[in-house]
Amino acid sequence: MNLRKVILTLASLVTLEVYSAMPVFHAYIAESWIEKLEKYDEPQKRAFMLGTLFPDIRYLGGISREQTHEEGISLQVLLTTRDPFLKGKRLHCFVDETRARIVHESQIFDILKGVPEEHKDTFLKLLEDEVIYSEKSWNKTLEYLEDVEERELDFGASIDLVNRWHRVLIMYFSVKPSELLTSLSEKNQGYMHIPPQLVKVWSTLLPTLASDEKVKNYVSLMLQEFTVFLQSASL
């Protein structure tokens, strides 16, 4: 896959439903889950992480949401799921639904009044990943993505589709969202449904707002809420 195709495929990630999280957010929560709740060996950690990144493969086409997502996943369901890959996959669904509630209850969009209204929901998702990206090293995640996990082929995805998905994720985890936007802005390129002029604005706004204390507090409070869930699960 050449660079332009990778960029276009990465861009499709921002067309996710309004309240779905982006890959870095999902990986961050998955790592926290492993650290607090699991005694996995390395193959199990890899299966869990690839499981939590797997569901959004559907945005590449060739596989439906029904094949990758489950509704109403509870902590009890997660705790009683033994297969690491399936547990990671279910954690993805739990994170999306929990984040949806938190965003709905927050006043984050009041903080983002300076952001153009067009595609503001997409901007928020990228902003969260921008803040979280620097909190961890993603080298281990990138290592996990070097090969296909056998369980990834059990839900209707072909080997070619999974390999393509891994390449997309490797590119995504290799740079901050702001760096991707800056690269596109320098080429005067749009970001799928986001026009070039808005990409240019975002490339400046994203790193600026990521350092804003109110934004960092919003992300911190969201992560704290997930921490509470993890603590309650460990009791």
Taking only the tens place, the pLDDT of each residue in 150-199 is 999 999 999 999 999 999 899 889 999 999 889 888 988 876 577 888 88
**Least confident stretch, 81-85, 124-128, 230-234:** 230-234
List Cα–Cα distances, 224 to 75, 114, 169, 213, in angstroms: 16, 26, 26, 16
The C-alpha atoms of residue 72 and residue 62 are separated, in whole angstroms, by 24
* Phi and psi torsions of 19, nearest 5°: -105, 10
Q: Which two tokens stand for residue 103?
A: 């965003």
How would residue 59 be classed by pLDDT, with cut points 50, 70 and 90?
A: confident
**Eight-class DSSP state of 21:** P
Considering the entire predicted model, what is its pTM? Answer: 0.89
Closest CA to 177 of 206, 149, 220: 206
User: What is the mean pLDDT of the segment spanning 82-102?
Assistant: 94
Residue 81 has pLDDT above 70, yes or no: yes
**Least confident stretch, 23-37, 41-55, 109-123:** 109-123
* Phi and psi torsions of 106, nearest 5°: -80, 170
Average pLDDT value for the chain: 88
The C-alpha atoms of residue 71 and residue 163 are separated, in whole angstroms, by 26
Closest CA to 49 of 138, 161, 164: 138
pLDDT, greater one: 41 or 231: 41
Residue 206 has pLDDT above 70, yes or no: yes
Residue 13 has pLDDT above 90, yes or no: no
List Cα–Cα distances, 7 to 45, 169, 172, in angstroms: 28, 11, 9
Q: Where are the domains of the chain?
A: 3-234
Q: Which two tokens stand for residue 137?
A: 């090293």
- In tens, the pLDDT along 96-136 reads 999 988 998 888 888 887 787 878 888 899 999 999 999 99
pLDDT of residue 127: 95
Residue 8 has pLDDT above 60, yes or no: no
The answer to whether residues 13 and 23 touch, using CB atoms and an 8 Å cutoff, is: yes
97 contacts: CB under 8 Å, gap ≥ 6: 71, 72, 73
How would residue 10 be classed by pLDDT, with cut points 50, 70 and 90?
A: low
The answer to whether residues 45 and 87 touch, using CB atoms and an 8 Å cutoff, is: no
